[in-house]
A and B are shown apart, each in its own frame.
Chain A
């Protein structure tokens, strides 16, 4: 079912989303991948202030290619989410409401998604040129020295994603593959 949702996510919207929903996101999201997660996690452990307020926000696991002149961003598709699994449950407990990536998540992430009424979206892997068209502006807001891995604030318009894991613990990767599995 197609849904149009504003981001940051409010709790009601996040809880209402179901695995398999095709969702268009509009508003503000933040990029962070391996190196930014590691740094934020270390800051959290030291009780330092995080460069990004997690509450209600959506993190996009993405490191763009450089933008050409006059463009908001370069190619901008999702990276593999499981590399962030180590850090994710704590971030969800701090209020993170949504994640956009691709690929499987750990059992710990699934439990934290359910516990916090959050959601894990997949964007289409390898469609970075197409997805860049839904990014209207991008600015680095933290960890600039990390280059492509810096934290960026993105303004997105109808950014297309699919709900993979929802607050009820459903997982589209499992159910969808089962539906098309053929016994040979």
Chain B
């Protein structure tokens, strides 16, 4: 026990609060770089104009402290917890939700969460968050806050393919999801893909793929090749910025893989809009 590091859960609350506000007002540098490059390279005049408006939108958001998008999302929180960390204070889950509550209330963010999926009464403070815990070596905690809007979330898909469908089947599934999403997902999109695992593992791989710095490729050579090829094919669809035609339909395709069962080939496609909000802190 002597080597344990103690972290007060009140510190988690404070960090989450700040991160909710930060992610909804300031785009991460990787996403800003994607937008800047696309605005220079877009071929369609209307597409170029829309990308210019998105750049201006970011400037206004930061200067006036007005959220980038009115859909300030459901708060998705990844906690990678070093196994030598000991928490003190209120339970960790409560601490995270308190951070979300304060961030969304004090930060003038929209409360978009309903308590029950069918009764649909708004919780009025955007809680609860969707929290994913992971135990990792070490004595620090890596927090990722990724508020997720539902224009794009609604266009996400999961495909339980057969092993015989192979590489071509996987590529077709991803392209189908992107084509069906079209203008609904606020393109240019970031496409997060999970391949392998089980039903739920696959979906989680896809969600986590969205938090990878945009444009960074997979370290696995064949996966990197797939990411490049799919990005090219997605941008050839012509869907374009806002779905109003153009050569920029996606900024990036991120694929994560995991071992799977001899009988299966799950593919999850989690689509994100052009802001792809994510912010990371390590404490």
Contacts and interface: CB of A to CB of B under 8 A. Distances in A.
B240 A148 contact: no
A176 B238 contact: yes
Given A74-B110, A180-B246, A68 B184 contact: no
Interface size class of A (residues with CB under 8 A): 35 or more
A74 B108 contact: yes
B167 to A, nearest CB: 16
Contacts of B245: 172, 175-177, 179-180
A53 B232 CA distance: 48
A8 interface: no
Contacts of A127: 53-54, 57, 69
A104 B183 contact: yes
B44 interface: yes
Interface size class of B (residues with CB under 8 A): 35 or more
B66 A75 contact: yes
A103 B110 contact: no
Interface string B58-74: 10110011111111100
B238 A77 contact: no
Given A122-B244, A125-B151, A127-B54, A74 B184 contact: no
A82 B70 CA distance: 18
A124 interface: yes
Interface of A: 22, 35, 62-68, 71, 74-77, 79-80, 82, 102-104, 122, 124-130, 132-133, 146-148, 162, 164, 172-173, 175-184
28 contacts: A63-B110, A68-B65, A75-B70, A75-B110, A82-B184, A102-B242, A103-B243, A122-B243, A124-B54, A125-B186, A125-B273, A126-B57, A126-B68, A127-B57, A127-B69, A128-B57, A129-B67, A129-B69, A133-B60, A146-B122, A148-B111, A164-B244, A176-B238, A177-B238, A177-B239, A177-B243, A182-B236, A182-B247
